[in-house]
Each structure stands twice: as C-alpha cells, then as structure tokens.
Amino acid sequence: MPQYPNRQFLDFEQPIKTLYEEIEKLKHTAEKSKIDMTDSISKLEDAIITKRKEITEHLTPWQRVQLSRHPDRPYTSKYIHKIFSNFIELHGDRNVKDDKAMVGGFAQLNDETVMVIGQQKGINTKTRQQRNFGMANPEGYRKALRLMKLAEKFNKPVICLIDTPGAYPGLEAEERGQGEAIARNIYEMIRLKVPIVIVIIGEGASGGALGIGVGDKTLMMENTWYTVISPESCSSILWRSWDKKEIAAEQLRLTATDMKGFGLVDEIVPEPIGGAHWDYDEAATILKQHIATALQEIKPLRAEQRITNRIEKYGKMGFWNEVPITENNHQ
Amino acid sequence: MKKEREEDLDQNLTGEETANPAGEIKPKWYSRIRQGITTSTADKKETPEGLWSKCPQCNFICTTSELRENLFVCSKCNYHHRIGSEEYFEIIFDNNTYTELFDNIQSKDFLNFTDLKNYQKRLDEIHSKTDLKDSMRVAVGKINGEEMVIACMDFEFIGGSLGSVMGEKFSRAVDYCIEHKLPYLVISKSGGARMMESAFSLMQLAKTSGKLSQLSDAQLPYISLLTDPTFGGISASFGMLGDLNIAEPGALIGFAGPRVIKETIKKDLPEGFQRSEFLLEHGFLDFIVDRKQLKEKLHKLIVLFKG
C-alpha cells in the first residue's frame, strides 16, 4: 500500500484522498484508545484499490492527459534507475552546451548494453526550471542524435523514453535551428542501423516527441497521450479559446487506445491500478518486460531489413481518397 | 522604412478567413456610411486580383498585371507577394508546360474531426471555392530544357497544412523521381501540421523523411525552397532536409511561430527574427534567391549536379 504523506491528488482522485484521510483518522484513534482497528483499516485499503480501479476505468481523454502530467508520475530518470543497471549518463552535444531537458547514456538491460535516451522533467520548482519542464532545445536533440550515433557505432540498441510537452519555443532555440535539429533526428533515426524501441511514458507532444520518436517498435503506456499538438494549444488555435481543451483532447483521439487502434503505435503498456504514480516498482517491472520483449522481436532482423520496415511502416500512415486518374497535361 | 508585418500564423491553420484584428480606437474624422471593403487583407495578399494591388510592405500601388509581369514582386521594395502553385509552375516551367501528377489523391475526414466546423465540411467548402484539391500540387516539367519534379504548397488550402495527402503526394513524387532519375524541388509555404488529422499528420514527418532517405540513396538532388511562411512540421522535417535549403527574400521561417515565442519568453522579438536573412546568417540556408532569378538559379543547379 503506497504511503499517504506528500501524495498529490488530481480533482478526480479526491475520493481516494478522502479514504486515505479516513485511514489516518482510524490509525490515530487506534493509537489513542489502544483498540485494534486493523480490520477496518484493511477494508479501507481495499476500498482505495477499488476506487483507483473505478476511476481509471472511466477516464475521459482529458483526464488521461492530466494523469500523464500527474506531479507524482515517474519520469525518465526514475525508470532508468528502476529498469536498467550500470547507467552512465553522458552529456553534451559537442557544439553548444548540455541540455538538461534531455538525458541519456549507456546502461544495461538484463545484462545487455543499450543506449537509453529521454526527456527529463524536474520534480520541484528548482529542478523543473533546470530541466526546462522537459522541453528540449536544439542541443538536446543533437545530444540525443550524438548518443544514437555512438550506439550505432558500437552496435547497441537504442531505447527512447518520451515525456515532453513539446520542443522549447524560444528565441535561442530558433537561432540554433530547432526545426532542423528535429528534422535531422527524424531522418537519421529512420536510417539508424541498430534496433530502436520507443516508449511514450508521459506526454508525447508533436515534433518535440517525434524528434526522439522514430523506431522499430513504439510502445505507449496506458495513461499517456501522443499527438500533433497539446489539447490546450489546439483549443486556442481551432476553437480560439483556451477553455475547450477537454473537447480538443476528445477530438484529437490522443489516448493509447486510439493510437493503437489507428496502428500508429504498436503496443499499450499497462500501468499499476490507478496509474504509474501509485507504484513505481510495479510500473517499471511491467515496462521492463515490454521493452525486453520488443527488443527481442526486432533484434534478429538484419539492419537493412529493419530500415526498410521502418520506411514502409511510416509510409503506410495516413488516410486519403483516391479517385480515378484523369490525364492532366497543362499546356 | 520597412514595416514589420504582424500576422497570426496559427490562425491560417484553422482554414478560416482571418478577420481584421480589432485595433485601437482612433478619433474619427469621417465615418463610413456603409461597409465598402469586405475582403480581408489576408485574402488580398494571397491572390492579387482586381485592377490594383498595394504592396503590404511599402504601400506601393501598381496594377495587378504589372505585378504579375514582375512575378508578384514589388518593383519598389522587392517584397515577394505570396503566390500559389499555379504561379510558381508558370514562373519555373518552360512555356508554362507541365504534367500534374497524383492529383487524384484527396483528403478525407477519417477521424470525423469537428472543431468550430466539421473537417469534411471545411474540405468541401474549399473545394467549392477554389480549384485546389489539397495543400500540395506535384508536377513534372522542364526548366530551360532540364526535366524536374516540383511539389509546391498552396497556402490558400488550410494554411498549406501538412496532412496525409501532402505526405502521400510527397512520397509518390519521390518514387517518381527515383523511377525517372529526376531532381526534386519542394516549394514550402505552410503554417505546419494539419491538426484535423491529429497524430496522422504528425507521422507524415517520419513518412516524408523516410522517402527522402530513399531519394538520397538514389543520389538524386533534393532542393528545398522555403517561402513565406514556413513553420512547424514542415521545418521540422523535409523543409530543412534539403541537399540545398534555399529561400525567397524576407520569408518568415521557423519551428515555433512568432506569437508563441513572444508569449513564452515574454519579450519582443528582434527585428528580422526568423526571416530568410536571419536563417542565412545563422547557417541554415545555402542562399537566398530572388524570384526573378529563381528559374535561372535552379537550371544552373541542375546542370551543376549533373555535370
């Protein structure tokens, strides 16, 4: 049973908070009056689990977005430390600086060396600023590419963990070519000779996500979102108001179930009941298993085959009508 | 004195005509009896029609036929008016002779996406208003005798937005280039990805990049011409991936739009920020090309690549 202190609750998680508070009260009374209340407490603990289940069963797309941004949700570094061993972080793009919003380095997954890369968010005000809220600058994407090329050189698979509200829209970012950096990464990832497994572990916002998001297998955790624009920005542009984010989230079809249904991601990774923030260990154990399985599936293929498969896979994405051809010579 | 044009680029992606932003209220000397001018300025720039045309930068007034003769470039301040595929094909291809390819691919509303309007309805409306079928047209023709494939965007069509159709046309154009061993030119003019196609539009970035890698393996040149404006998904994919990246003078080019950046950093942007000249200075363009030299330059490049 996860501990109560310092836990944060979203609006729709409030019933769980109430249950926790009841437990606290009971514990307090038990201590005071020396009455055994273990039974009532364990009943309430069961009720918490049931509530967690209930809540996640009926989530709206917008609530999923909220869960993906849950302040207690595990971020990239948490997963790296729980899933991999012997992680050595590598820094810098060898050009401008070290982007703290993007982390990466060699690590071992079940005794096999891999390169793991991902956006990193902060856990308090200070680190959030340091990590720029998980919004990478061009040097972050270039660092990621440098590490991927390093992995390619030594024939190690690449694992990317995506959690970003988008690439940073800043002045320096534009000066240093944010568009070019993302474009280059997408292009190079398509051609990378080693296996690539992508996991959306939180927010998967647009080009900022795809900049480290092209691979052989794309996994999406249950309570995450992945699409072309954040629901808030979409609302502000298409509805001309910031208040339609719930509708935008619905219309964008950004949940893992939708994305799997469209064939745009390969697999959904289940999370502990109520979301990954309820149990880091369990979330990491499930994810580890899925990454390992995905890797085993793509590793036996020849490098050229993987690249061809990638081009074909992305080539099939899209929908259109094709009407009969009419010769159209313009003279 | 150059006037910085301020425009909300995102607004173009809604596929709606932009209304004039309500400016500050000035004391009136005369009042208008009836509303005479109903066309928005955005429209006027896009397709200079009617007898007269005013340059949005220097206010120089000339007849539209004069402007057309001058390739839609202001003869006073060299401002490059926004033009569409029809005009670019006419400017570049010999005798305005070309064969349009893949114009049988059309957008559909697979997700039943509805914002203020339904996506399908939006598409139908544009189809009935213009001759355009989508935001990109592909054609093959000759440039001073040298054959080339050109894919050109139309900003008029939902802000030149990148959706499944553009991705598919782009891809087939690459296949065509490989099959016929031809160089490839893409003329970009777009606000970014088409939100009404959600994640499908995002995946076009990977799709087009994959095709470019095949073009690269075939050792065929790919030239990316960026024109005003080019943003978002275009600059984060094939727009910036040219063997040569070139641009028209004064074009706004970037990843994030100026409004978003301004809101993020809460500071005014320096003059000339995200213009072609700025990009050239920062090393992201090979050169800037005047529209009047475009055809000659392209021809020269093809010859150089061939020789």
Residue A18 has pLDDT above 60, yes or no: yes
Mean pLDDT (whole number) for A298-322: 96
| pLDDT tier at A16, thresholds 50, 70, 90 | very high
CA angle A230, A165, A311 (to 5 degrees): 80
Q: Which residues contact B68 (CB under 8 A, 6 or more apart)?
A: B48
B195–A229 C-beta distance less than 8 A: yes
In chain A, which among 160-179 make CB contacts under 8 A with chain B? 167-171, 173-179
A253–B199 C-beta distance less than 8 A: yes
Residues of A in contact with B140 (CB under 8 A): none
CATH level 3 topology of A66-315: 2-enoyl-CoA Hydratase; Chain A, domain 1 (3.90.226)
> Which tens digit of pLDDT belongs to each residue from A191-226?
999 999 999 999 999 999 999 999 999 999 999 999
Residue B1 has pLDDT above 50, yes or no: no
B282–A177 C-beta distance less than 8 A: yes
Q: Which residues contact A295 (CB under 8 A, 6 or more apart)?
A: A109, A114, A157, A159, A195, A197
| pLDDT tier at B25, thresholds 50, 70, 90 | low
CB pairs under 8 A between A and B: 208
User: Nearest-CA residue of chain A relative to B10?
Assistant: A237
The dihedral of CA B209, B214, B219, B222: what is its sign? Answer: negative
Write out the residue range of the structural domain in which residue B123 sits: 83-306
| B282 occurs within a structural domain | yes
Mean pLDDT (whole number) for A44-62: 92
Mean pLDDT (whole number) for B252-280: 94
Count of domains for chain B: 1
- What kind and span of H or E run contains A231? helix A231-238
In chain A, which among 226-265 make CB contacts under 8 A with chain B? 226-229, 234, 236-240, 248, 251-254, 259, 262, 264
Residue B2 has pLDDT above 50, yes or no: no
Question: By mean pLDDT, which of A81-90, A307-316, B33-42, B274-283 is the weakest?
Answer: B33-42
% of chain A with per-residue pLDDT over 90: 88
pLDDT score, position A37: 84
- Judge if the upstream peptide bond of residue B221 is cis by omega within 30 degrees of 0: no
Give A89's strand partners.
Answer: A105
pLDDT score, position B40: 63
| pLDDT tier at B14, thresholds 50, 70, 90 | confident
Q: What is the largest CA-CA distance in chain A?
A: 97
Residues of B in contact with A178 (CB under 8 A): 236, 254-256
> Which tens digit of pLDDT belongs to each residue from A243-260?
999 999 999 999 999 999
Residues of A in contact with B254 (CB under 8 A): 174, 178-179
CB contact at 8 A, A116 and A291: no
User: Is the CB of B35 inside 8 Å of chain A's CB atoms?
Assistant: no
User: Nearest-CA residue of chain B relative to A256?
Assistant: B199
> What are the residue boundaries of the structural domains of chain A, listed by start?
14-58, 66-315
User: Is the CB of A61 inside 8 Å of chain B's CB atoms?
Assistant: no
For chain A, what's the residue count? 331
Residue B36 has pLDDT above 90, yes or no: no
Q: How far is B209 from chain A (nearest CA, A)?
A: 5
B195–A259 C-beta distance less than 8 A: no
User: Is the CB of B280 inside 8 Å of chain A's CB atoms?
Assistant: no
A214–B240 C-beta distance less than 8 A: no
Question: By mean pLDDT, which of A114-123, B66-75, B86-95, B211-220 is the weakest?
Answer: B66-75
> Which tens digit of pLDDT belongs to each residue from B115-162?
999 999 999 999 999 989 999 999 999 999 999 999 999 999 999 999
Residues of B in contact with A264 (CB under 8 A): 199-200, 203
pLDDT score, position A266: 97
% of chain B with per-residue pLDDT over 90: 76
Q: How far is A263 from chain B (nearest CA, A)?
A: 10
CA end-to-end span of chain B: 44
Q: Which of A171, A206, A226 has its CB closest to that of B261?
A: A171
**Sequential DSSP letters for chain B:** -PPPP---HHHHTTTSPPPPP-------SS--SS----S-HHHHHHS--SSEEE-TTT--EEEHHHHHHTTTB-TTT--B----HHHHHHHHSGGG-EEEESTTEE---TT--BSSSBHHHHHHHHHHHSS-SSSEEEEEEEETTEEEEEEEE-TTTGGG-B-HHHHHHHHHHHHHHHHHT--EEEEEEE-SB-GGGHHHHHHHHHHHHHHHHHHHHTT--EEEEEEEEE-TTTTTTGGG--SEEEE-TT-BB-SS-HHHHHHHHTSPPPTTTTBHHHHHHTT--SEE--HHHHHHHHHHHHHHHH-
Mean pLDDT (whole number) for B174-198: 97
B113–A184 C-beta distance less than 8 A: no
% of chain B with per-residue pLDDT over 70: 87
Residue of A186, A196, A235, A307 to mutate when probing chain B, most B C-beta within 10 A: A186
CATH for B255: 3.90.226.10
Q: Which of B163, B164, B206 has its CB closest to that of A210?
A: B206
pLDDT score, position A151: 98
Q: Which of A211, A226, A323 has its CB closest to that of B199?
A: A226
pLDDT score, position B52: 87
Residue B42 has pLDDT above 70, yes or no: no
CA nearest neighbour of B220 among B189, B188, B253, B176: B176
B239–A210 C-beta distance less than 8 A: no
A191–B203 C-beta distance less than 8 A: no
> Which tens digit of pLDDT belongs to each residue from A262-283?
999 999 999 999 999 999 999 9
Residues of B in contact with A226 (CB under 8 A): 199
Distance from the Cα of residue B50 to its chain's centroid: 22
pLDDT score, position B41: 60
Q: How far is B64 from chain A (nearest CA, A)?
A: 23
| pLDDT tier at A1, thresholds 50, 70, 90 | low
User: Nearest-CA residue of chain B relative to A238?
Assistant: B14
In chain A, which among 180-199 make CB contacts under 8 A with chain B? 180, 182-184, 186-187, 190-191
pLDDT score, position A327: 57
Q: What average pLDDT is seen over chain B? A: 90
Write a three-state SS string for A174-203: HHCCHHHHHHHHHHHHHHCCCCEEEEEEEE
User: Judging by DSSP bridges, how do beta strands A321-322 and A196-205 pair with one another?
Assistant: unpaired
pLDDT score, position B19: 47
User: Nearest-CA residue of chain B relative to A316?
Assistant: B207
Question: By mean pLDDT, which of A51-65, A184-198, B206-220 is the weakest?
Answer: A51-65
pLDDT score, position B4: 52
User: Nearest-CA residue of chain A relative to B167?
Assistant: A318
Q: What is the value of ipTM here, to two decimals?
A: 0.94
Q: How far is B215 from chain A (nearest CA, A)?
A: 12
φ, ψ at A280 (rounded to 5°): -60, -40
% of chain A with per-residue pLDDT over 70: 98
pLDDT score, position A118: 98
